[in-house]
Structure 1
């Protein structure tokens, strides 16, 4: 029997979500462009979801959408929309309305305990361990935890972690540690041949990796806000 021309399967993808807190298109455009300029290799032409839960119904949606698209970001959907009129206008622009899932129930805490931190993984978070090769086109994200890959990472593959990243095989893809902004994170590679290395938005592309460290066991971290590299062994 010949194979069917198409097949539908469920899958998971990691997408950046832009939470919009202001309705002014130019202000949003400038803020996004500043973020992209900080990490162009990570954000340039990236697919994103827009969360509009903080916007009022009278927002000029076509202008806002155009301002965001002018930065080069690809809007693949909109989440958090509760206003029926805004939903209608978003639909007229051809964008799907997405659900980010049910929020977790908040535990009751005393006010003094309600401390929010950005980029610091909870101590109880488990490390994500990957024992298989990471192929080209694959993306692995370790949310609020470190990421350990015991095998090789092919060119075109991407590792993202809110914590540290450890790669024990050949590293040819992209590794982005401290994705939530934790500048204390580090990257450890047994064989560094990466397309891109990034920590909290600071990054090197392949040509910027010092020749003495290329293909060698290396450790990368931030010192005084700049990417630095050391021999691992």
Structure 2
């Protein structure tokens, strides 16, 4: 009897979802290239899903795949597609994904209110957020460190080209060195993260749940691997 086994299990992985109302190549490629230039290290070979909810035309998925490959991205599938788009995407070798239903209007209102009330202070070297970053919020410190004086809630995302310092619990996602700098680190006083990334190298929650889970911790890149240690 063969000792080899095969298991096919459901799992969750971070996927970036691209929303763009014009998927023509002459529009999409320069816009996407400009966006990627903001954080090239983090998005290198990142898996991407196209949200077609606002696109009723039938894009040329074969050409789109070539554009994504050119930009060092991996187009893996589509969501929000109509029947014709689903057929064309599948013929191009793409997966058709079903997005979870959410109260979009309510979520948008929460995010808008959070942005309006967000109090930040910028200096040459750091961006300071005075309160908790809540679910649905994304904070990005371009060319600087990011200091969060509150917590980072589940479903929230904090990104910095520099280091990230969180004085409360980290329950969402923290992405340091977003421009590709492996020397940057993530510091927090209570590690319960959904995802932590340094220069595009990431660990999900399962990999973080160990000795330092729920404790002050520092995550850095060392010897070609992410390393987590006690925050002292």
Structure 1 residue 183 displacement after superposition: 0.5
More helix per residue: 1 or 2? Answer: 2
Partners of 1:46 and 1:131 in 2: how far apart? 34
The equivalent position to 1:71 in structure 2, one of 67, 72, 75, is 75
Structure 1 residue 19 displacement after superposition: 5.5
Partners of 1:156 and 1:35 in 2: how far apart? 22
Q: 2:134 maps to what in 1?
A: 135
Partners of 1:172 and 1:201 in 2: how far apart? 19
Paired residues in the alignment total 139
Structure 1 residue 133 displacement after superposition: 1.1
Partners of 1:125 and 1:46 in 2: how far apart? 36
Q: What's the secondary structure of 1:198's corresponding residue?
A: strand
Structure 1 residue 73 displacement after superposition: 7.2
Q: 2:44 maps to what in 1?
A: 35
Q: 1:222 maps to what in 2?
A: 221
Listed one character per residue, the Cα deviations across residues 186-226 of structure 1 (whole Å, up to 9, x for unaligned) are: 11010000000000011100000141100100011011120
Structure 1 residue 35 displacement after superposition: 3.0
Q: 2:89 maps to what in 1?
A: none
The equivalent position to 1:17 in structure 2, one of 32, 42, 64, is 32
1:186-225 maps to which residues of 2 (within 5 A)? 186-225=185-224
Give the direction of change, closer, same or farther, for the CA distance of 1:215–1:44 in structure 2 (3 Å limit): farther
Which runs of 4 or more aligned residues in structure 1 lie more than 6 Å from their structure 2 counterparts after TM superposition? none
Partners of 1:127 and 1:180 in 2: how far apart? 15
TM-score by length of 1: 0.53
Q: 2:167 maps to what in 1?
A: 168
Q: 1:153 maps to what in 2?
A: 152
Structure 1 residue 154 displacement after superposition: 0.7
Q: Provide structure 1 residue ranges, at least 5 long, that are not aligned to the other structure.
A: 1-15, 21-33, 48-60, 75-123
Structure 1 residue 172 displacement after superposition: 0.2
Structure 1 residue 63 displacement after superposition: 4.6
Partners of 1:35 and 1:197 in 2: how far apart? 16
Partners of 2:132 and 2:172 in 1: how far apart? 11
Give the direction of change, closer, same or farther, for the CA distance of 1:180–1:212 in structure 2 (3 Å limit): same
Contact 2:65/2:75 (<8 A) preserved = no
Listed one character per residue, the Cα deviations across residues 127-172 of structure 1 (whole Å, up to 9, x for unaligned) are: 0000111111110000000000010111000000000000001110
RMSD, matched Cα: 2.9
1:42-53 maps to which residues of 2 (within 5 A)? 43-45=47-49
Q: What's the secondary structure of 1:71's corresponding residue?
A: strand
Q: Provide structure 2 residue ranges, at least 5 long, that are not aligned to the other structure.
A: 1-30, 36-42, 52-59, 69-73, 79-122
Q: 1:23 maps to what in 2?
A: none
